[in-house]
Amino acid sequence: MIGCSGQIGSELTIELRNIYGNENVFATDLKEAPAEIRDNGPFQILDVLDEKRLQHYAIRNKITQVYNLAAVLSGNAERMPMQAWNINMSALINTLELARELGLNKIFWPSSIAVFGPTTPRFGTPQLSVMEPNTMYGISKLAGERWCEYYHQRYNIDIRSLRYPGLISYKTEPGGGTTDYAVEIYYEAIKNGSYESFLKEETTLPMMFMPDAIKATIDLMEADADKIKVRSSYNVGGMSFNPQEIADAIRKHIPGFEITFKHDFRQAIADSWPASIDDSVARADWNLSYKYNLESMTQVMLDEIRKKAG
Ligand code: NAD
Ligand code: AKB
């Protein structure tokens, strides 16, 4: 696991250890891991951009599969586009080369709804569509998808990928994306009873609760190889809502909750992305399914954040 300390990695690592055994899932990140990961199985500080160390680590530990989650997300990528491009592409290419050189048997690399752009149909965006992203994050993810498909076709590497929508979770804070507002809003609702949204009230985006994203990832990785017909990345839709609708869902539990709106540079990123996603190809190929909607996710988010707050 590369990127085990991040929003997804901190939960996916635990789930993989539950399935394959703590000692069989080697967790790595540039930064310290949460105690639950660091203390219960192998963990190493490792920079995925350091290809020599990455290779030594993989050989020494007889690594057979890699989940590479290291990336600069959309908001941070607009703050430092050149670095984001270099990091996002080198992190992926080092992993692909590792797979080719060591003959690894499976790779997971996440893409994003950010591969779509302002010229893509916004509602029910299909698996195959116009892709002209105008954010650095989206450009790097689209290029990444092309690299993944190329390595599969050229070197027969079993690489699998999901275009995650915005992911919502309570264990680890999100890492600098545009959909982060949909996590912050729950924390602020409990702490202050109010939230100032950096996206406009009508900005609808595709989102997914973390347990559904983890399940989708495991289901994809465990599916028979002949079922995986898409080797760029699969659309994953989840649910779609805007800041006003998530605020209304919170208000059912916290009646006095107030939301105000002051959009910033992330509005333009959100405006370039789809509002809803058609994921029928993933459903047909390997039975993608979800459990949570806005109401059931809101209940769990508020309960869990209250527990954390003590
Ligand atoms: P995150 O920022 O929370 O976590 C990324 C982790 O990678 C961090 O712990 C970071 O320290 C680590 N990392 C960064 N550079 C590294 C390097 N050079 N070497 C080793 N580790 C490094 O991000 P996340 O939300 O967990 O996202 C993981 C992946 O999923 C990314 O590729 C992201 O683009 C993709 N994704 C996330 C979302 C989402 O909503 N969270 C949606 C779509 C796609
Ligand atoms: C972001 O907002 O950058 C991510 C994503 C949708 O890829 N959450």
74 CB near ligand 2 (under 6 Å): yes
Same domain, 105 and 57: yes
CA of 200 to the centre of ligand 2 (A): 17
C-alpha 100/C-alpha 97 separation (Å) is 5
Write the DSSP symbol of residue 33: P
pLDDT score for 268: 98
Residue 73 pLDDT greater than 90, yes or no: yes
- Per the structure, the complete domain to which residue 197 belongs is given by 168-206+239-275+292-309
Please, which pLDDT band fits residue 220 given cuts at 50, 70 and 90?
very high
Which atom number of ligand 2 is nearest to the Cα of residue 74?
A: 3
The continuous run of DSSP H or E covering 303 comes out as helix 294-309
Mean pLDDT of 68-76: 98
CA of 252 to the centre of ligand 1 (A): 32
Full-prediction pTM beyond 0.85? yes
Same domain, 89 and 218: yes
Same domain, 23 and 36: yes
pLDDT in tens, 181-204: 999 999 999 999 999 999 999 999
pLDDT score for 86: 98
Largest CA distance in the chain: 58
274 CB near ligand 2 (under 6 Å): no
Same domain, 81 and 117: yes
Q: Is residue 280 part of a domain?
A: no
Mean pLDDT of 252-269: 98
pLDDT score for 299: 98
pLDDT score for 100: 98
The mean pLDDT value of the chain amounts to 98
Kindly report the protein residue whose alpha carbon is nearest to atom 13 of ligand 1. Answer: 70
C-alpha 17/C-alpha 114 separation (Å) is 29
Q: Could you give the percent of the chain with pLDDT greater than 70?
A: 100
Answer yes or no: are the C-beta atoms of 2 and 69 closer than 8 Å.
yes
The number of folded domains in the chain is 2
Residue 310 pLDDT greater than 90, yes or no: no
Q: Is residue 180 part of a domain?
A: yes
Q: CB burial class (10 A; 0-12, 13-18, 19+) of residue 143?
A: middle
Same domain, 179 and 55: no
Secondary structure of 162-213 in the HEC alphabet?
Answer: EEECEEECCCCCCCCCCCCHHHHHHHHHHHCCEEEECCCCCCCEEEEEHHHH
Residue 50 pLDDT greater than 90, yes or no: yes
Same domain, 73 and 173: no
Which atom number of ligand 1 is nearest to the Cα of residue 167?
A: 40
CATH number of the domain that residue 113 is part of: 3.40.50.720
Mean pLDDT of 12-33: 98
pLDDT in tens, 94-142: 999 999 999 999 999 999 999 999 999 999 999 999 999 999 999 999 9
Mean pLDDT of 215-232: 98
CA of 182 to the centre of ligand 2 (A): 11
C-alpha 85/C-alpha 244 separation (Å) is 33
CATH number of the domain that residue 249 is part of: 3.90.25.10
